[in-house]
Chains A and B, each alone.
Chain A
């Protein structure tokens, strides 16, 4: 995944679209993921299937490489929809967009939409991730 310059949280507004991020999956990436989450399901043994939560993790990683969030940021909620299976041979592209940024007292609520497609431009995953962050100047 190419390294993009991180966007400061304070610069984000609803509607902001992050640069898309593509990456080629491979069996070693998936094996490391399965080991980390201790998933020994037969679904992934001797098959080319990728756990959908691994795809979500890669999309979140792409997002975290694009945005600079202050310390004290808390991941509060997550929505995910698995739309199609993903193969270890796939190249997936993740798109992220700020759908909501609200001020709530000393905190901000930031919601980002995620959409992931395979190399055939078929949607494989969609979701929303929400964070609570300290308001500007409240960074710890």
Chain B
């Protein structure tokens, strides 16, 4: 198990996960469209998007959500890939040029026989402080060391 936060036993409620920032670019949105085969014009066609109430292209919500998953896998390694769970709401679209700050905080640690469940509050916000994604995650880890 990889533990970016250090040893599991050192984790505590209220602890912050390592925060990071990503700049959203149209290039990455286009790449994500290719990778996910989601070619909705609101994401990739600037002329189309300008004529909508959004006024321009926006990133796929799942692209920004991938950043949350990156934070979780950086913190909890392979356990996140096989025992992770998330529930999120998309609050505000992310646009090309936005800087997204991805953060999280351990809200609860549940220990039971042979395993530990770690609950986190997660947040993606843009450079204006607006919430882009809010939600909760949970990861189960087999052994408490």
**Interface residues as binary, B83-98 with A (CB distance below 8 Å gives 1, 0 otherwise):** 1111111100000000
Q: Does A61 sit at the interface, judged by CB under 8 A?
A: yes
Residues of B near A39 (CB, < 8 A) are: 66, 70
**Interface residues as binary, B12-36 with A (CB distance below 8 Å gives 1, 0 otherwise):** 0000000000100000100110111
- CB pair A85–B66 under 8 Å, yes or no, is no
CB of A36, distance to nearest CB on chain B (Å): 4
Query: What CA separation (Å) do A22 and B70 show in the bound complex?
Result: 25
- CB pair A61–B78 under 8 Å, yes or no, is no
* Neighbour of A43 across the interface among B22, B52, B77, B85, CB < 8 A: B77
Q: How large is the interface on B (under 10, 10 to 19, 20 to 34, 35 or more residues)?
A: 35 or more
Q: Does A14 sit at the interface, judged by CB under 8 A?
A: no
Residues of A near B31 (CB, < 8 A) are: 32, 35-36
* Neighbour of A75 across the interface among B61, B78, B85, CB < 8 A: B61
Query: What CA separation (Å) do A43 and B78 show in the bound complex?
Result: 7
CB of A2, distance to nearest CB on chain B (Å): 13
Given contacts A80-B85, A84-B82, contact A52 B62 (CB under 8 A): no
B-side binding surface: helix, strand, loop or mixed?
helix
Query: What CA separation (Å) do A129 and B82 show in the bound complex?
Result: 20
Instruction: Please report the total number of A residues contacting B with Cβ < 8 Å.
Output: 38
- CB pair B38–A77 under 8 Å, yes or no, is no
- CB pair A43–B81 under 8 Å, yes or no, is yes
CB of A70, distance to nearest CB on chain B (Å): 12
Given contacts A39-B70, A78-B86, contact A64 B38 (CB under 8 A): yes
- CB pair B84–A82 under 8 Å, yes or no, is yes
Return the chain A residue nearest B87 by Cβ.
Answer: A79
Given contacts A41-B70, A53-B62, contact A82 B38 (CB under 8 A): no
17 A-B contact pairs sorted by A residue (CB < 8 Å): A29-B35, A37-B63, A39-B66, A41-B73, A49-B78, A51-B66, A51-B69, A51-B73, A52-B84, A57-B35, A58-B37, A61-B36, A61-B38, A64-B37, A82-B84, A84-B82, A140-B53
